[in-house]
Structure formats: C-alpha cells, structure tokens
C-alpha cells in the first residue's frame, strides 16, 4: 500500500554523517543533508535522492559569476556596473591584508576614510569638499538630514526609484517637513519663491527623474536658477555622469554643472554611469559637506574599504578622459563601435553553429538599465538562437544553471545574445555554453 511509513531498510540505507562528510568536505552540511533526508523519508517520500549531489549543491557559493548577454549595460539584477581592471586589482590589494583605511601613515595619527577619494572628487567635479557613503539613496538621506530644514520639492520630482524607494519617504526618514510646489508636469521659479516666503529657512531638493522622462507640456527650473534663490540646494543627479566625450551621456545631467552652479550638496552614484562600485557621493560647498560628515547618519551609511578601494581606482581613471572611456566597462559599452560588436557577434554565432545549432544575425536595441537614460536605444548586431525541442524557456534555464551562468533575453520565441555587454572572452564562453546547452537538449530528445 503506497503512502505508508518508510521501511526500516530505507532509513538504514542512509549514509553516516562521517562517510558523507568525508566525500563532500563538510560535517555541518553532511549532517544537515542526512537529517533533511531522514525527515523526508519519515514523511513518506519514495523518490531516490543523490545525497552527495545535494550536499555539493549546498556547498556551492550563492553569489556566482554570470555572463551578461542581455544588452542591459547597468543591469541591477546582475550587479550593475562591472569594474575596470584597475578597480578589481585595487579591491584585491585591499582585501589581501590590512590597509591604511583610517590611519595617517605620515603622522601615525588616526585619519579619515574619506581622504582617499575626497581630493579626487574635488579635482573631477570642481567641488570645495566631498564625501562618499554606501549608495546614492543614503547620500540623499544624509544630505536632507544634515541640512535639517524643511525641504522644498517639485511635485514632478516626487519620484520612486528602485526597490519602491520614494523621495517623500526619504524626506520623512530624514525627519524634516516636505513642502511640495508646482504640478506634476510644470514647476516654475515663482513656485519656489512663493514657498520660500512661507518657509524662509527651507532647503531646495532637486531630484533627477533618472528612470523615466516627462515630455510634452512640461517645465522645470534649471539648477542655476535654483541656486540663485539664496538657500541651500541639494541636487540629486542620480547616475553620476562624470565622463566627457561620450555621445550617449549628452542627456544626462553632468555633476560638474550642478557643482559650478553652487549647489550645497550634489548627490550621485558611484556605480551606474560612473562605472565604479556601489557608492553614494556627495560633492559641493565645504560647509554643507562638513555638516553631512558630522551627522550621526554618516557612520550608519559609511562606505567600506573594498568599495572605497574600487571607487578610488575608478576615479583615478577619470583623470585621463580617453583612458576612462577605454578602460571603464560601462563607458566602453556605451561607446562600442559597430565593427567591434559585429566581430564579437560573429564569434558567438560561429561557436553555436559549429555545434549544430541555428543562430541568425539580427539587429536589436540594447538598454542602459539601472534607472539611467530610459529613452536611449543602442542599436547594434545581436545573435538570435533558435531553441531546441524543449523551447526557449528551457534553453534559458539550462544556461542559467551552467558554470558560469549565461543570461540572455527571450524575444519572439528565440534567445537573443547581445555582444555589447560581453567581452571577447565572454563571447567565446557564452557561445560554448549555448552550444553545450543545445547539444544537451538534442540528447534529451
């Protein structure tokens, strides 16, 4: 009769913890897997399970390398901006042992972690002072909390960014009142002036709608005009456009413009379009930065040494604009020439076809992603792969399960692989992975 209690023989057949641990190298995992299987058998399980395979799967790291063939350059789900070689090397050096994170090596006295990037940020933005924290949302929260006054915000800039994080909630968490001005589509200088007559001690918070655009009957006030109103301006420019000479960035607000306009604090990301690690950067007037630096929240949102090492190395590349465009992956992908993309797509296609798969060159548009440049279409060559008998979803699942995992995008029943977000080596690896997945699909048939 099915569904009854397991036989004593099935329980006795379970391997001992010591024997399984000897094969997989972990007593803790071996014990957990054996106990888990015993509970399944007692609950009536009748399937066969490879406990060694289950244990090895549990031992595998959760955070894995992924080859991004989606064409989404700043892919939030895949960790946003890949780091430049110089930044990766800096992280490795900082992780290898101790570092002078908060030690002044010249005097032997305690130093500040902010000194490692403040000079670079001042140099690159023209700011009087600068500060780095762990992400841009934290930078905005700290800026509003530190200046400690009512915050005047245009209704058109009461935006929601990733993770359901909203500007009104940021202001509320900072503990200051929110004063809304204007309308969703049009806010004028006079709206701000009227609010300041009622709240003369207020600051102005300007938030760039980085992940959407309003078009048509719209109006907003330039940062230069806001700074002329005589109160501190906090300008959240979002994606961190520091690079010059990249055509794709022409519609993104440059950090230097807001600094030169006289904003008290300009907040922007260290990853996204800047192309470094996750970080939030504040640059602006010395007095405003010092208030942010001295605020208790500054410790709660401080940047760690590994991100700081990667950020310093990335910012150093910006001292040579041509080198930055060449070595920072995000900038290189944004500016990738057609012949380079076509050659990489050709290698992808050849690897797939050598294994008997069907792949066709087509044209499609890549996206920047990460809440940046939402209207930008980066057209170029991609490889469209015809799935096997199991279908495109099964093919995509096989590729995600591989080592390394490969992620493309599914469109019209085919798997699209975009060379824009691949290096040459990754293109070869992705082609081999697709070929293996197609062969496995054919073998299952």
Query: Taking residues 121-146, what's their average pLDDT?
Result: 95
| Alpha carbon distance 70, 52 (integer Å) | 34
* Arithmetic mean of pLDDT over the chain: 91
SS3 for 147?
A: helix
Question: How does 217-233 read in b/e, with b if 16+ C-beta sit within 10 Å?
Answer: eeebbebeebbebebbb
What confidence tier does 342 reach under pLDDT thresholds 50, 70, 90?
very high
What was the pLDDT predicted at 377?
A: 84
Question: In what helix (H) or strand (E) does residue 142 lie, and over which residues does it extend?
Answer: helix 136-147
% of the chain exceeding 90 in pLDDT: 71
Q: How far apart, in Å, are the Cα atoms of 123 and each of 19, 120, 245, 246, 316?
A: 61, 5, 18, 20, 10
All CATH 3.90.1150.180 domain ranges in the chain, comma separated: 66-76+333-444
Among candidates 87, 138, 122, 74, which has minimal Cα distance to 280? 138
- pLDDT digit string (tens) for 197-242? 999 999 999 988 766 677 778 889 999 999 999 999 999 998 878 8
What was the pLDDT predicted at 442?
A: 67
% of the chain exceeding 70 in pLDDT: 95
* Contacts with 106 (C-beta within 8 Å, 6 or more apart), sequence order: none
All CATH 3.40.640.10 domain ranges in the chain, comma separated: 85-327
Predicted TM-score of the model (pTM): 0.90
What was the pLDDT predicted at 283?
A: 98
What confidence tier does 444 reach under pLDDT thresholds 50, 70, 90?
low
- pLDDT digit string (tens) for 16-64? 999 999 999 999 999 999 999 999 999 888 888 999 999 999 999 999 9
| Alpha carbon distance 408, 68 (integer Å) | 7
| Alpha carbon distance 80, 77 (integer Å) | 7
> Would you say 351 and 317 are in contact if contact means Cβ atoms under 8 Å apart?
no
Q: How far apart, in Å, are the Cα atoms of 15 and each of 11, 23, 36, 50?
A: 9, 11, 13, 11
Confidence check: pLDDT of 385 > 70: yes
- pLDDT digit string (tens) for 257-296? 999 999 999 999 999 999 999 999 999 999 999 999 999 9
> Would you say 262 and 227 are in contact if contact means Cβ atoms under 8 Å apart?
yes
Among candidates 418, 247, 406, 432, which has minimal Cα distance to 334? 247
What confidence tier does 408 reach under pLDDT thresholds 50, 70, 90?
very high
Confidence check: pLDDT of 367 > 90: no
The domain 66-76+333-444 is placed in CATH, from the list 3.60.9.10, 3.90.1150.180, 3.40.50.11600, 1.20.1250.20, at 3.90.1150.180
What was the pLDDT predicted at 397?
A: 94
| Alpha carbon distance 350, 273 (integer Å) | 32
Confidence check: pLDDT of 129 > 60: yes
What was the pLDDT predicted at 142?
A: 96
| Alpha carbon distance 376, 68 (integer Å) | 19
Q: How far apart, in Å, are the Cα atoms of 118 and each of 11, 19, 132, 284?
A: 63, 55, 8, 11
Query: Taking residues 73-96, what's their average pLDDT?
Result: 95
- CATH number, domain 85-327: 3.40.640.10
Backbone conformation region of residue 263, classed left if phi is above 0, alpha if psi is from -120 to 50, else beta: beta
Among candidates 309, 280, 312, 272, which has minimal Cα distance to 297? 280
């Amino acid at each position: 009769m099915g569904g009854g209690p397991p036989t004593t023989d099935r329980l006795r057949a379970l391997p001992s913890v010591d024997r399984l641990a000897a094969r997989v190298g972990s007593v803790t995992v071996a014990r957990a897997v054996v106990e888990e299987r015993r509970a399944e058998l007692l609950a009536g399980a009748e399937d066969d399970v490879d406990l060694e395979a289950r244990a090895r799967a549990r031992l595998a790291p959760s955070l894995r390398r992924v080859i991004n063939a989606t064409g989404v350059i700043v892919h939030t789900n895949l960790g946003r901006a890949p780091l430049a070689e110089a930044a990766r090397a800096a992280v490795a050096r900082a992780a290898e042992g101790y570092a002078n994170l908060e030690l002044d090596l010249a005097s032997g006295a305690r130093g500040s972690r902010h000194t490692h990037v403040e000079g670079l940020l001042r140099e690159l933005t023209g700011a009087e002072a600068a500060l780095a924290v762990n992400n841009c949302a934290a930078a905005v929260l700290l800026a509003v909390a530190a200046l400690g006054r009512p915050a005047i915000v245009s209704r058109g800039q009461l935006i929601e960014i990733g993770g359901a994080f909203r500007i009104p909630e940021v202001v509320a968490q900072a503990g200051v009142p929110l004063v809304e001005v204007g309308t969703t589509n049009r806010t004028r200088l006079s709206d701000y002036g009227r609010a300041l007559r009622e709240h003369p001690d207020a600051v102005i918070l300007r938030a760039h709608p980085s992940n959407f655009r309003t078009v048509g009957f719209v109006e907003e006030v330039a940062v230069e005009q806001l700074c002329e109103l005589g109160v501190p301006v906090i300008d959240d420019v979002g994606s961190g456009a520091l690079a010059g000479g990249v055509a794709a960035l022409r519609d993104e607000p440059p950090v230097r413009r807001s600094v030169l306009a006289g904003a008290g604090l300009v907040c922007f990301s260290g990853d996204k379009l800047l192309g470094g690690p996750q970080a939030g950067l504040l640059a602006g007037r010395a007095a405003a930065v010092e208030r942010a630096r001295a605020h208790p929240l500054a410790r709660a949102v401080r940047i760690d040494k590994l991100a700081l090492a990667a950020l310093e190395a990335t910012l150093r590349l910006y001292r040579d604009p041509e080198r930055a465009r060449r070595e920072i992956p995000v900038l290189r992908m944004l500016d990738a020439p057609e012949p380079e993309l076509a050659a990489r797509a050709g290698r992808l296609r050849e690897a797939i076809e050598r294994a008997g798969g069907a792949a066709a060159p087509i044209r499609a548009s890549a996206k920047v992603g990460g809440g940046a440049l939402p209207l930008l279409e980066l057209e170029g060559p991609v490889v469209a792969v015809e799935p096997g008998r199991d279908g495109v979803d099964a093919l995509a699942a096989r590729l995600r399960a591989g080592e390394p995992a490969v992620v493309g995008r599914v469109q019209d029943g085919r798997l699209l692989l975009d060379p824009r977000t691949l290096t040459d080596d990754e293109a070869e690896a992705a082609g081999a992975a697709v070929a293996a997945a197609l062969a496995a699909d054919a073998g299952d048939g």
